[in-house]
A and B are shown apart, each in its own frame.
Chain A
Amino acid sequence: MEFGTLSIQQLLSGYQKKDFKPSEVAASFLKNISDKNEKLNAFLQVRPDETLSQARALDEKMSQVEKLPLFGIPIAIKDNFLVRGWQATAGSKVLSGYLSPYTATSVERLQSMGAVIVGKVNCDEFAMGSSNENSAFGPVRNPWALDRVPGGSSGGSSAAVAAGLATVSLGTDTGGSIRQPASLCGLVGLKPSYGRVSRYGIVSYASSLDQVGPFSRTVWDSARVLEVMAGHDGMDATSAKRAVPRFTEELKAPSKKSFTLGVSRSWLEGVDSDVAKAFDVAIEFFKKMGGKVVEIDLPHTQYALSTYYLIAPSEASSNLARYDGVHYGYRTQSAKTSEELYSKSRGEGIGREVKLRIMLGTYALSAGYYDAFYLKANQVRRKIQEDFEKAFTQCDFVVSPTSPSTAFKLGEKTDDPLKMYLSDIFTLPVNLAGLPGLSVPCGLDSNNLPIGFQMIGKPFGESELFSAAHQYEQIRGEFPVADMAKGRG
Chain B
Amino acid sequence: MSLEKYEAVIGLEVHAQLMTASKMFCRCPNQYGSSPNTNVCPVCTGQPGALPVINKKAMELGVRAAIALNCEIHSESVFARKNYFYPDLPKGYQISQYEKPFCTQGHVVVQLKTGEEKRIGITRIHFEEDAGKSNHEAYGTLVNLNRAGVPLCEIVSEPDMRTAHEAGQYLRALHSILRYADICDGNMEEGNFRCDANISVRPVGTEKFGTKVELKNINSFKFVEKAIEYEVQRQVFAIENGEKIIQQTRSWNSAKNVTEVMREKEQAHDYRYFPEPDLPKLVFSSSWLDKIKKEMPELPQQTSARFKAAFDLSDYDASVLTSSKELAKYFESVVSHSKNGKASANWVMNELLGRLNAASKEIDSSPVSSTQLAELIAKIDSGEISGKIAKTVFEEMFATSKDASSIIKDKGFVQISDPAALENVIRKVIESNPSQLADYKAGKVKLLGFFVGQAMKETKGQANPALLNELVKKFLDS
- Tell me the A residues contacting B by CB distance below 8 Å: 80-82, 88, 90, 95, 98, 101-102, 104, 199-204, 206-208, 234-238, 314-315, 317-318, 320-322, 324, 326-328, 338, 342, 362, 365-367, 370, 374
Q: How far is B141's CA from A90's CA once the two chains are assembled, in angstroms?
A: 29
Task: Tell me, yes or no, whether B29 is within 8 Å of chain A by CB.
Answer: no
| Other-chain contact of A238, B81, B141, B274, B280 (Cβ < 8 Å) | B280
Contact yes or no, A318 B92, CB < 8 A: yes
Known contacts A208-B277, A237-B279, A315-B277; A322/B54 CB under 8 A: no
Whether B272 contacts A322 by the Cβ 8 Å rule is: no
CB of A321 within 8 A of CB of B83, answer: yes
Measured CA separation A81–B280 after assembly (Å)? 23
B50: Cβ under 8 A from any A Cβ: yes
Is B230 an interface position by the 8 A CB rule?
Answer: no
Contact of B93 among A318, A327, A328, A362 (CB under 8 A): A318
Q: A102-B42, A322-B91 are in contact. Are A199 and B51 (CB under 8 A)?
A: yes
**Nearest opposing residue in chain B for A338, CB measure:** B87
Residue of B nearest to A95 (CB): B48
- Does B383 belong to the interface (CB within 8 Å)? no
A-B contact pairs, 19 of them (CB 8 A): A80-B49, A82-B49, A101-B47, A102-B47, A104-B49, A200-B50, A201-B49, A206-B277, A237-B52, A237-B54, A238-B277, A315-B274, A322-B48, A322-B90, A322-B91, A327-B46, A338-B87, A365-B274, A366-B270
Q: How far is the CB of B169 from chain A (nearest CB, A)?
A: 36
CA distance A39 to B92 in the complex (A): 38
Asked, given contacts A327-B45, A366-B270, whether A321 binds B277 with beta carbons under 8 Å apart, the answer is no
**A324-B51 in contact (CB<8A):** no
- Chain B: minimal CB distance from A433 (Å): 15
A321 to B83, CA, bound (A): 8
Assuming the A-B contacts A237-B280, A238-B279, A315-B277, are A203 and B48 also in contact, with contact meaning beta carbons closer than 8 angstroms in the complex? yes
Q: A318-B93, A327-B90 are in contact. Are A82 and B51 (CB under 8 A)?
A: no
A235 touches B272 (CB 8 A): no
Give the residue among A82, A95, A235, A362 with the most B Cβ atoms within 10 A: A235
Say whether chain B's binding surface is mostly helix, strand, loop, or mixed: loop
* Cβ contact within 8 Å between B49 and A200: yes
Q: How far apart sit A102 and B277, CA to CA, in the bound complex (Å)?
A: 22
Tell me the complex Cα distance, A125–B99, Å. 33
In the complex the two chains form, what is the Cα distance from A320 to B46 in whole Å?
11
- Nearest chain B CB to A363 CB, angstrom units: 10
* A236 to B54 Cα, complex, angstroms: 10
A202 to B42, CA, bound (A): 12
Given contacts A238-B278, A370-B274, contact A88 B87 (CB under 8 A): no
Query: Across the interface, do A362 and B85 meet the contact criterion of CB distance under 8 Å?
Result: no
Question: Would you call B261 an interface residue if the criterion is a C-beta within 8 Å of the partner chain's C-beta atoms?
Answer: no
Chain A residues contacting B280 (CB-CB under 8 Å) are 237-238
CA distance A180 to B143 in the complex (A): 43
Contact with A along B268-302 (1 / 0, CB 8 A): 00101110011110000000000000000000000
List residues of chain A with CB within 8 A of the CB of B52. Answer: 237
Interfacial chain B residues near A101, Cβ < 8 Å: 42, 47
Q: Which residues of A contact B445 (CB under 8 A)?
A: none
B53 within 8 Å of A (CB atoms): yes
Residue from A314, A315, A321, A366 within 8 A of B85 (CB atoms): A321
Residues of B within 8 A of A317 (CB): 83, 272
Assembly CA distance A207 to B85 (angstroms) = 20
Flag if B92 contacts A321 (CB, 8 Å).
Answer: yes
A88 CA to B49 CA, complexed, in Å: 10
User: What residues of A have a CB within 8 angstroms of the CB of B270 in the complex?
Assistant: 366-367
Which of chain B's residues has its CB closest to A374's CB? B274
Q: Which residue of A lies closest to B269 (CB)?
A: A367
Contact in complex: A236, B51 (CB < 8 Å)? yes
Nearest-neighbour CB distance to chain A for B87, whole angstroms, equals 5
Which residues of chain A are near B92, meaning CB under 8 Å? 318, 320-322, 324
A88-B42 contact in complex given A238-B280, A318-B81, A324-B85, C-beta closer than 8 Å = no
B87 partner residues in chain A, CB cutoff 8 A: 326, 338
Residues of chain A lying within 8 A (CB to CB) of residue B279: 237-238
The reply to whether B49 and A204 form a contact with Cβ atoms under 8 Å apart is yes
Question: Closest residue to A375 on the B side, CB-wise?
Answer: B274
Contact present for A90 and B51 (CB under 8 Å): no
With A237-B54, A321-B93 given, name 12 new contacts (CB 8 A).
A90-B48, A199-B49, A206-B277, A236-B51, A237-B51, A314-B274, A318-B92, A320-B92, A321-B91, A338-B141, A366-B272, A367-B272
